[in-house]
Each structure stands twice: as C-alpha cells, then as structure tokens.
Amino acid sequence: MLQVENLNKSFGSKQVLFDINFQADNGKILGLIGKNGSGKTTLFHSILKFVKYQGKIIIDGQSFSSRDYNSVGYLPEERSLMPKLTVLEQVSFLASLKGMKKDEVKSDLQDWMQKLEVKGQITDKIKSLSKGNQQKIQLIATLIHQPNLIILDEPFSGLDPVNVEIIKEVILQEKKRGATILFSDHDMSNVEELCDDVVMINNGHIVLNGAVNDVRNNFGLTRLFIRTDLNLDNVKNLPGVENVVLQNNGIYKLWLTDASYGEEIFNTLSHGKYLRTFDQEPPTLDEIFKMKAGEDNE
C-alpha cells in the first residue's frame, strides 16, 4: 500500500504541488489524471525520491527509502532504452539494478516475450525492433522483478489497439498478483476500464479523489442514451433535455438538466412497451476531466 501525505513540491520560488493526499491499495489500480503540466510526473518523481519534497511517502507502513527500490517498477513516459544492446543485455542491465542475476533474467525473459507477443528474439538488438516492441521490452524491464509498487506513466503511448489490449491484460494480471499500481493515461476510457480509483490533479491541486464509479455518480445520472423513432426536434422537446446529439450508431445522447427527468422521459417514450435502448448514466470520466480541467484551482 502506498500513502502520500501532505506532499508539497516547489522548484525555486514556484510551487507545483499543494498538499497532495491519497492512498493506493494493494491489488488495486489507481489512475492519476490531469492536463499536461498539472504535476503528474513531478508527483511520480517525488514518490520515487528523484526530487526533494515536503511531506510523507509511506509504503506498507514504512517511509520510502533506498531499500524499497528493488520492490518498485517504474515505466516513464519517455522511453530510454540503449539501442546497441541486445534485448537480453538491456533487460539484464535494468533488472540487475533491482537485484536480479543474469541467469534468472534469461530464464524469465522468454516467457515475458511470449506473454507480451514481442516480435523479436532476446539476441536481437533493441534498435532492430519496432517502436511498439521496444515499448514492450521496457515494460518487461519494469515488471520482470515482480515489483510490489508499479508506476506506469502513459504505458499505451504509440501502441495500436491490438497491442494496447495485450498490455491491459498484463496490467490486470499484475493487479491480480497483488501489486499496487499507479497508472497515468490521457485516454479516459482506459482509466475507466482499468482503474479502481482515480486521482485528478489540476494546477498542482487534487480536484478529484475516489473510486471511479463514485466519482462519476457524484455528477448525477444526467446522460441518457435512447433509440427512438422520434426525430431530432421531437427529442429536443422532451422534458428536461438540455442538449441532444444523434450518434452514428443511431442512438440519441441526451444531456439532462436533472437526473429526475429520466423516469418521465421513459414513460413518455415507452407507454408501457419495450424500448430497445434506454440507458441513463453519469457523465463519463472524459467529460468530468474536461469540466474539472477547465476550472481555476489556484
């Protein structure tokens, strides 16, 4: 378990993190979201003691120290592999920093290559691999020592949808293993799908903190998806409708002024009969992100 308590960070006279408090539990994934420049990477670097800060970072009840690095796996946003090394040499070097021996790495590496469907051999040089496969190698180096705390900063950057799904499955396996996972992504649908909890930072302040479903539900069931024979103008005139969009799949998306209008609209449309599509939901995390990111929290 990771606890961050009253974390503040300044660069010179400019303060970039303000009283950050949150907890990430074992066997759960916490999504850290925010605009570029909001403080996410600085927070990661503070947790890892790459920079000095004020406050407390506690792992499993103990203050984080150098002895904990062997139990941490960090995938930075910027990739930093050495192109002239072979896959085995690269992973062995990084794993040795976590206390693994080369024979142990060689024994495990082939299984990881198969699990992530890397197109290449452990004897191939890094520079001969595609960018996507290089990214998979860096993820292997992050996970091969089975860390208890995993920090993934934009792990899907540059990957096609097929490889994104492969990486997602591996992340979920690490969660099942019991690791504490911090995950950052600009695609809010990935955060909704993978994360148990979410923390949003805006201008260095936490503006959202809680279980993903709780955060969404706090904004009310003001999104309604319906399939109806009514035309767009008639749908706009339904009670409580603030805005309407007809989506490409033939379903209308309605923004309601209040969630209570959902029942009235249902009765108006159904007349007691079957409705193929009627789904009342809270705003997506993407919509909430855009709302909160536009607020001034200074």
Domains of the chain, with CATH numbers? 2-216 (3.40.50.300), 220-281 (3.30.70.330)
Q: What percent of the chain has pLDDT over 70?
A: 99
Type and span of the H or E element at 16: strand 14-24
Q: Are 78 and 155 in contact (CB under 8 A)?
A: no
Q: Does residue 296 surpass a pLDDT of 70? A: no
Q: Is 39 left (phi over 0), alpha (psi -120 to 50) or beta?
A: left
pLDDT (average), residues 273-296? 89
pLDDT (average), residues 54-78? 88
Q: How many CB atoms lie within 10 A of CB 249?
A: 8
DSSP annotation of 19 reads E
Please give the pLDDT value at position 136: 94
- DSSP secondary structure, 142-209, as one string: HHTT--SEEEEESTTTT--HHHHHHHHHHHHHHHHHT-EEEEE-S-HHHHHHH-SEEEEEETTEEEEE
Please give the pLDDT value at position 295: 63
pLDDT by residue (tens digit) across 7-38?
Answer: 999 999 999 999 999 999 999 999 999 998 88
pLDDT (average), residues 73-91? 91
- Enter the tokens of residue 174: 């690490």
Q: Does residue 258 surpass a pLDDT of 90? A: yes
Report strand pairing: 149-153 vs 180-184. Answer: parallel
Please give the pLDDT value at position 69: 86
Q: What is the pTM assigned to this prediction?
A: 0.89
Q: What percent of the chain has pLDDT over 90?
A: 84
